[in-house]
Structure 1
Amino acid sequence: MFTGIVEELGEIVGIESAGDSAKLTIHGPLVTQDAVHGASIAVNGVCLTVVDVKDETFTADAVKETLDRSALGALGPGARVNLERPVRLQDRLGGHLVQGHVDGVGRVVSREPGERWELVTVSLPPGLSRYVVDKGSITVDGISLTVVEAGDDAFSVALIPTTLALTTLGHKAPGDPVNLEVDVVAKYVERMLGARAAEPAPETAGPAGGVS
């Protein structure tokens, strides 16, 4: 489990293709300080398992499902990536609960610069808009952000100077893909309400104690 608070801007230094999967080697001096084989690290919001650690880099496998459902497959050596280690139970939850499971890939639609911040609009894949609400939380490339305005096929977020300087969103241009993870609480609520609606109506007792 993650919080969507990016710890470090890393760099992909190697990609080894293996048919329908890939092995990524990523430079990240901070997140590798305590990384071990089997540890989890979120890369642009995708939870990956560390298989090797060496010289401030770590290597992780990305299987077909990961490449199909995220924008990691579009990246190459030299690409910058947002990195975050899992939250510890005693840590503060600075962002919101993030699983590192990408729900879909959106694209940057536009950027509107302000004096010290930017309003960025991102497209929403079909089926995700029902989970996105004004002032709710969403994860974009592993970054926990607050939705400014939610539409049927896009949403906007306001990026402060820190986000612009220390994450990949400071460099994304219109048309660039981004990984999206909606608030998991919204998905659980939808599931529970759907199950309740599908339940048969309870039987009621008649006046003589029978069943009507």
Structure 2
Amino acid sequence: MDGHPRDRARDEALHKKFDKLLTRMIEEHTASAHERKGNPDFLDVVMAIKKFYREKLTLTNIKALLQNLFAAGTDTSASIIEWSLAEMLKNPSILKRAQEEMDHVIGRNRRLVESDLPKLPYLQAICKESLRKHPSTPLNLPRVSTQACEVNGYYIPENTRLSVNIWAIGRDPDVWENPEEFRPERFLSGRNAKIDPRGNDFELIPFGAGRRICAGARMGIVLVEYI
């Protein structure tokens, strides 16, 4: 269904502007590739595949990959970060404990680096608790059943559109004690300390699970913890 002509014109103008941004980004990145020799990033690897492995990757394909990174990795991560900040402002004791951990591990004379993250268990617990209570995709992305099946006594016809209620799973009182309470400490000891939000434990699946899990799960977790 076509949109209003005015909306179409606006969308086309926005697309052209974003396309120019991506083109400039690729050109600048290619020109500075020698500065990252031995430590390539995502775009360096993609460009190398295009150049040396003769994969049928066009600039349009690469721009689409970059656009997916922006679209899927910006708003979702920002949402979790905003909720984390809101919960800490609402609970000053949590904020104070997080600050004390940062001061103890990092101090105030340098910036946080990615290698510091494993040494900050309380910070990681805050991020897990935010992912549990405030998932950025509450119903995940919809799925379609490829064939008829039965799950826990429920018959699901072929081609049925399905959504997983990640929000409800994270607030299930049969799994989580006081699920409406924001309490990072729940992830510091006992069974919950071993829960992995990257799809290995179905009590906490903010990125989905299985073969269709979010491809940027690891990046998303690191980004939220780092910022």
Answer 1 or 2: which has greater strand percent.
1
Q: Which has the higher helix share?
A: 2
TM-score > 0.5 by shorter chain: no
In the superposition, the TM-score normalised over structure 1's length comes to 0.20
